[in-house]
Chains A and B, each alone.
Chain A
Amino acid sequence: MLIPCPHCGTRPVEEFTFLGDASVARPASNDPASMEQWFEYVYLRSNPKGRFDEYVQHSGGCRSWLVISRDTDSHEVFGCVMAKDYNRKRKGAKP
């Protein structure tokens, strides 16, 4: 598997460390009432067969945290962006 790092170009998979599901966002609140959100953030994972956005670090390269969009069945990689850009876009999309 090859991954197109925005900084380093297309690089082999072993240079990358996968953290998984990028759909979960860290809750902003420390209020005990938010425990359920915290539980979901830390423990529950969307784990689809098919297209999937995931956190990946180019640990053997530029060390950037990235979000790659990949099919978990075919392993086709559709795209790769910086995690902060991905999250900025995601936050921007929400009202």
Chain B
Amino acid sequence: MTSFRLAKGGLIDRNSALNFKFDGRSFTGHPGDTLASALIANGVHLMGRSFKYHRPRGVISAGASEPNALVELREGGAKEANTRATVIELYDGLAARSQNRWPSLDFDIGALNSLASSMFVAGFYYKTFMWPKSFWEKIYEPIIRKAAGLGTASREADPDKYEKSYAHCDMLVIGSGPTGLMAALAAARSGGRVILADEGSVLGGSLLFETEEIGGVAGYDWAQGVLAELGSMPNVTLLPRTTIFGWYDGNVFGAVERVNDHVLAPPPYEPRQRYWRIIAGHAVLAAGAEERPIVFGGNDIPGVMLASAMRVYANRYGAAAGQSVVVFTNNDSGYRTARNMLAHGVHVEAVVDSRPDAKAGAGSVQVLRGRMIAAVGGGKGVTGVELSGGTHIACGTVAMSGGWSPIVNLACQRGAKPKWDAAILGFVPPDVGPNFTAAGSAAGRMLLSECLADGATKGTLKGKAPAVPKCRDEAFAISPLWWVKESRGKAFVDYQNDSTAKDLPLAAREGYRDIELAKRYTTAGMATDQGKLGNVNAIAILAQATGRSMDQVGTTSFRPFYTPVAFGAFAGPFTGHHFQPVRKTPLHDWAEERGAVFVETGLWMRSSWFPKEGEGWLASASREVKATRGGVGICDVSTLGKIDIQGDDAGLFLDRLYCNTFSTLGLGKARYGLMLREDGIVFDDGTTSRLAEDHYVMTTTTANAAKVMAHVEFAHQVLWPELDVTYVSVTEQWAQMALAGPKSRATLRKIVDGLILSDETVPYLAAKEITILGGIPARLFRISFSGEHAYELAVPADYGNLVARALCQAGAEFGIVPYGVEALSIMRVEKGHVAGGELNGTVTAADLGLAKMMSAKKDYIGRMMAGREGLIDASRQCVVGIRPVDKADRIKSGAHILKIGDRPSMTNDQGYVSSVAWSPMLNMWIGLALVANGRARLGETVRVWDGLRGTDVAGEICDPVHFDRENRRLHA
């Protein structure tokens, strides 16, 4: 293997060797290398295959815009597909594999596609694969899907961690080249909080490889001086390895810091990457400019690269792209590469300059003015070039420079379009206001002195801009050359997607003339580099094909993300079980002690059932129901929303919130309330109690607790601010438990202080503030969801476990059982109480059989809209009971209701089963259903049709109250 490591120079540590593997082959490199530079130093140029034709490809660039050298990095759950070899910092033990090739990178069967490439032009797939019809899904598409895509993603969980961070600053500087450093220095010296971020592993931008002097020293040394000063200032944060990927409303920037992508694995407790949201008073875009390829035959053969990239590999990494170079340029900057390579001892065969009148030169190198490369010889490496007009030059690499595109992306992400600058032949950023300004070459300034001055001006927050160091500018002149028309062989515009110079005129001929249509039709600009290299060339070729100017064609939309961002970075720590917080009730410990099985209910974990040894959920819940109805049971109902409402107008306020009346509620009484939305549909229900003249406590359903709170706040602050009322959610402040069953009173008696419990002291629907267990404040409500003689007891949250344990002790002699939401749900279906299955946001009070609750004497939310024709239509579905005719049959929630004899069809559909339960009291499955005109159909036998699960049983529409219809138990 020949080494292409130059004898000296570069920012690599030659004293230390790093071992790495590419496609199983072992290589060495140095700290400071990228995977790409290390491979180049080892003479490896073939690093990837293209998307459509599987053409052999090497690096084009030396940075984030790389479209070709994409590899799979790392193994197992840490595997990353499509990682740009040009930005992977080399570490010891690195393992990477090429992708989108089979069986090997060197010999790829997919390259056969090239044979048919004359047919596989832009959009060919829209015109074929349609016959026979069934072949698309069975044959064509599976083949296409398998051939498409780039790398292979892991199916294992990511072993690494991610963080999220927020930062505020007065000045965010994006990019740390000469412009960025000056801007950061100016901002820092004017006292602002400064963040300087750069996607590179080392700060310095172009100063890491360009050879100009600044202030009489090498540009690199000048940068070190500035960075040392910035690093010493407490108001400055330096963020290398940090890509600002997006600009959002409010001058909010999104960024990703690659904290540990440069090591084999993150150290313990450190994240792989950190996501930043940066809120910037001002920001300067100093992202520099991107060199453009030229579109000519064979411009994708490994060894053809951007002229600036060749300089980066030589000057920064000490790696020669080849032993002989031809430079192909339409502007002066290509000559730098010729001079630099010459200085490194690389043979520069010629500079081919498309400009007949070019003035630039590169020492002894022959300059062929007015000439162009028409074809590149070679397959997996360059052997030579052929110029328009026929000259052949043997060479090992080609350095191309088609000019420079200011990196305008971030400035255009909020919709403003860049403008064409004919002087520099590039799109420059739009004016997007004073808080985000582009500077330096990102703003189209092509001279170093301009960049330094622009950075100093735009970075200054107040006072005078700092003095700008002196430097010697290299001239910049350019003439348009986009596409060598004499090209032989494929000339690529978008490398990764294999869009060629012929595709765009074809798109235009077929009517896809708008740049956005042409992009979609040819896929130029849609690859992982998002057209960073190819878009301007595509625009130019389309402009030529359609007789329009660059401005008339314009660019496609610039969108986030500047470079692709890992899902993990956005997700941060909110993964796996930490996806959402867990809410535990104040009785969680008590329930856990008793073996509760918990179930996710929104964010809550609710005790669902309390199995004994060997019991399944149904056996457990059935036992809990029987024990409760036979003696006493205790259930955690703390998740119900609780809103404390106080004030002189509290009663009036509640009258407007509920469809029924609360201002008339007696002191110490509870009442069931029904709340509508303004559109007349039922919103929520619950009991609200009056503890004092001006003090109510509202309860809401668990599901709607937050929504009802916001609704209450809206009703007061927006609708009726004149009412004297205050409110606060106390859901978390109170533990609440239901105590139900014939022995509930006897149990409760043992823990209340100085109160003789009776129907007189605590009648049905009483609400009382009491103390228990020798002074613990409590609220006692005689309400029942189970249909039993029952209470709900609320105590301050911290007492919850203690009180629940005390009740269990007190009830031991009556065989008290804890019961969970399963048993609760069974008992409510037995009693025909509606819950989530029925309160689904589409039912009216009348649908629930609660029309009589709607007061006609007052204004309340929902009153007017509830009277609309469609809401009082007799054919509406309303809540009824449903039970199988044969007690052995099972009905399931979600089954639909049909008339006997009707075939299943939408027009015959009568409704559906909304809730079911196995009733241990009735020894059968029972349910609630919403059935068209249901209340008029009690006793009708219907089909309970469940085609989804393959059952179809006869059911009887019945009263929703399945058990103890006379409510004897409630008052027992």
Contact = CB atoms under 8 A, between A and B. Distances in A.
Interface of A: 1-2, 12-13, 17, 19, 26-27, 30, 32, 34-35, 38-39, 41-43, 55, 57, 59, 63-65, 74-77, 82-84, 87-88
A34 B717 contact: no
Interface in B860-919: 863-865, 867
B120 interface: no
11 contacts: A1-B249, A2-B250, A30-B859, A35-B864, A38-B865, A41-B678, A55-B714, A57-B710, A65-B713, A75-B250, A84-B717
A57 B713 contact: yes
Given A30-B864, A42-B865, A82 B248 contact: no
Contacts of B865: 38-39, 42
A65 B252 contact: no
A82 B249 contact: no
Given A13-B250, A30-B863, 20 more contacts: A2-B250, A2-B279, A12-B252, A12-B279, A13-B249, A26-B678, A26-B719, A30-B864, A34-B864, A38-B865, A42-B678, A57-B713, A65-B718, A75-B250, A83-B721, A84-B717, A84-B718, A87-B718, A87-B721, A88-B721
B679 interface: yes
Contact of B717 (A2, A38, A82): A82
Contact of A42 (B249, B250, B679, B867): B679
A19 B250 CA distance: 21
B864 A63 contact: no
Interface string B712-734: 01100111010000000000000
Contacts of B678: 26, 41-42
A13 B859 CA distance: 34
Contacts of A32: 867
A88 B357 CA distance: 73
A82 B721 CA distance: 11
A2 B710 contact: no
A65 B714 contact: yes
Contacts, number: 60
Contacts of A13: 249-250
Contacts of A57: 710, 713-714
Interface string B643-681: 000000000000000000000000000000000001100
The B interface is mostly helix, strand or loop, or mixed, namely mixed
Contacts of A55: 714, 718
A1 B248 contact: yes
Interface string B435-460: 00000000000000000000000000
A90 B864 CA distance: 24
A63 B643 CA distance: 14
Contact of A17 (B252, B679, B710): B710
Contacts of A77: 250
Contacts of B252: 1-2, 12
Interface centre among B250, B277, B678, B710, by most chain A C-beta atoms within 10 angstroms, is B250
Interface of B: 248-250, 252, 277, 279, 414, 678-679, 710, 713-714, 717-719, 721, 859, 863-865, 867
Contacts of B713: 57, 63, 65
A58 to B, nearest CB: 10
Contact of B864 (A38, A64, A88): A38
A83 B718 contact: yes
Contacts of B249: 1-2, 13, 75-76
Contacts of B679: 42-43
Contacts of B717: 64-65, 82-84
Contacts of B718: 55, 65, 83-84, 87
B279 to A, nearest CB: 7
Contacts of A26: 678, 719
A59 B710 contact: yes
B305 to A, nearest CB: 41
Interface centre among A34, A63, A82, by most chain B C-beta atoms within 10 angstroms, is A63
Contacts of B710: 17, 57, 59, 63
A65 B249 CA distance: 22
Contacts of B277: 12
Contacts of B714: 19, 55, 57, 65
A45 B179 CA distance: 48
B657 to A, nearest CB: 13
Nearest to A82: B717
A13 B279 CA distance: 12
Nearest to B859: A30
Nearest to A84: B721
Contacts of A42: 678-679, 865
A94 B327 CA distance: 75
A69 to B, nearest CB: 15
A12 B277 CA distance: 10
A82 B277 CA distance: 28
Nearest to A63: B713
Nearest to B680: A42
A27 B279 CA distance: 42
Contacts of A2: 249-250, 252, 279
Contacts of A82: 717
A44 to B, nearest CB: 13
A74 B710 CA distance: 28
A76 B721 CA distance: 28
Contacts of A74: 414
Contacts of A59: 710
Contacts of A43: 679
A92 B739 CA distance: 53
Nearest to B719: A26
Contacts of B414: 74
A11 to B, nearest CB: 10
Contacts of A1: 248-250, 252
A84 B865 CA distance: 25
A30 B867 CA distance: 11
A34 B865 CA distance: 11
Nearest to B277: A12
A43 B718 CA distance: 18
What are the nearest 3 A-B pairs in CB distance? A2-B250, A84-B721, A1-B249
Contacts of B248: 1
Nearest to A75: B249
Contacts of A30: 859, 863-864
A62 to B, nearest CB: 10
Interface centre among B277, B713, B718, B719, by most chain A C-beta atoms within 10 angstroms, is B718
B168 to A, nearest CB: 10
B120 to A, nearest CB: 41
A10 B249 CA distance: 13
Contacts of A76: 249
A27 to B, nearest CB: 8
A87 B713 CA distance: 15
A2 B281 CA distance: 12
Nearest to A38: B864
Nearest to B251: A2
Contacts of B279: 2, 12
A50 B679 CA distance: 28
B890 to A, nearest CB: 42
A65 B865 CA distance: 24
Contacts of A41: 678
Nearest to A66: B717
A21 B321 CA distance: 62
A47 B964 CA distance: 53
Contacts of A64: 717
B416 to A, nearest CB: 10
A51 to B, nearest CB: 15
B413 to A, nearest CB: 13
A17 to B, nearest CB: 7
Contacts of A35: 864
Contacts of B859: 30
Nearest to B856: A30
B256 to A, nearest CB: 18
Contacts of A39: 865
Interface centre among A1, A12, A65, A77, by most chain B C-beta atoms within 10 angstroms, is A65
A19 B713 CA distance: 13
